[in-house]
Amino acid sequence: MTTYWLEHGWVGERVEDGVVVDLVPPDAPGPVPVDEELGNGATAPGPVPPGHILAVRTGVATPPAGAVRLPGLTLPGLANAHSHAFHRALRATAQVGSGTFWTWRETMYRFAAALTPDSYHALARAVYAEMALAGITAVGEFHYLHHQPDGRPYDNPNAMGEALIAAAADAGVRLTLLDTAYLSSGFGAEPDRHQRRFSDTTAEEWAARADRLRGDSHTLIGAAVHSVRAVPADQLATVAEFARRRGAPLHVHLSEQRAENEACLAATGRTPAQLLADHGVLGPGTTGVHNTHLTDEDISLIGTSSTGTCMCPTTERDLADGIGPAPRLQRAGSPLSLGSDSHAVIDLFEEARALELNERLRSRTRGHWTAAALLRAATADGHAALGRPEAGTLAPGAPGDLTTLALDTVRTAGAPPLLGAETAVFAAGAADVRHVLVGGRVIVRDGRHVTLPETGRALAEAVAAVQDGGRAAAR
């Protein structure tokens, strides 16, 4: 057993002082029986697997002998529910000039064309390490770069997806690979030259390729519909059935742009949400990403079906998408999660803060969510959206995924520890993360990634390689 003493811990959605967390070591030979003599805290109901929490005790004023001290506020590991790893290469570059989502997309295509399995592995490994440094212990990768730029499959048809799986393992974070069906450039249109590498031609061919992907202790294989414009209506059910058959999470970009809504109405007479409902895509295993431009009926369909909503506020404002109706969606029954999407920044505290502050700007009132509710979106509800409902809590039986935030930096100092949730959401940032454990294994120590200590250099080199390739492709 490995014991950690948390100066302050987020337990049961409140800050507790002096929290002892007993973990089964990640290299233990097998599950450990529960010892009822562990103390006054809660223990797991049965044998606990390696890398999971065995017991949690609160109100322990001094560290037990041999315990590892974690000063500051320790939270469950954060969940980044929506990522496009290769978009990290666009940071700053995409801020030059003006335009819309659609002009930004042309720049994105140029970088997408430059990636190979090797260069994608190098970039994603550094991006996932950046996430780990920000306290993120699990990521949902919305993956559609499947083939060679001309659309021909690699000798290994899943070479790009497996590069992402290896990258996450190297960085030490959990991955839900949301293998994405992307079959057309618009309603009734073939993929254009930029999109050929995304397409498997049909949903059946997509499913046959995706079915060959294999998860492991750190990797889940999920599914995604890129959007209603990218998957023909008569093939949506195939993707939904693939996810149901595997018990896998299903994600979909939904109503991010008004132009998509207008095109969908013109082609089908239905809004995107209505079209997805018609073909069995909505439901408790599904998460709509963005959910920005919705009708009252759309909100009801999403909420009553318990379809989740992943908001990506820093990307939505970066791309001038708009502010989605998150409070109404949640009241209707849609659980909220958060993602960094295009990685304009990678900071789940900022995403949580932006969700509330954007709504304040829209409504001109304050206090739409408590800090505790925003932390839940960044932790438990985010992990659930990624297919890990047991994660995102400091509780017996949960994975040993911990993120410790310093409370003595220039951003976080001054407030009483009791207000640690408010400090985390409304003042802290990724730079305040000090220690991160995934499955009981330390991946960030004292603000430094353990296996990729020169993360900045790795990012610079990987991004430069992709940008050079993108310039060459443009010529």
Q: Residues with catalytic annotation? A: 290, 341
Strands 14-23 and 2-11: antiparallel
Closest CA to 342 of 134, 160, 175, 142: 142
Angle at 343 between CA 409 and CA 385, to 5 degrees: 95
Encoding tokens for residue 165? Answer: 């799986």
* CA–CA dist 177, 386 (Å, integer): 9
Encoding tokens for residue 219? Answer: 């990797």
Upper half-sphere CA count for residue 268 (Cβ side, 13 Å): 23
With beta carbons less than 8 A apart as the criterion, state whether 87 and 343 touch. yes
Q: In sequence order, which residues have a C-beta less than 8 Å from that of residue 423 and are 6 or more positions away?
A: 73, 405, 407, 412, 415
Q: Within 10 A of 167 (CB to CB), how many other CB atoms are there?
A: 23
* CA–CA dist 296, 249 (Å, integer): 25
With beta carbons less than 8 A apart as the criterion, state whether 473 and 150 touch. no
Angle at 87 between CA 86 and CA 93, to 5 degrees: 125
* CA–CA dist 247, 362 (Å, integer): 37
* CA–CA dist 315, 346 (Å, integer): 10
Residues in the chain: 475
* CA–CA dist 397, 473 (Å, integer): 49
* Residue 237, Cβ density class (10 Å: 0-12 exposed, 13-18 middle, ≥19 buried): middle
Strands 53-57 and 42-43: antiparallel
* CA–CA dist 139, 418 (Å, integer): 29
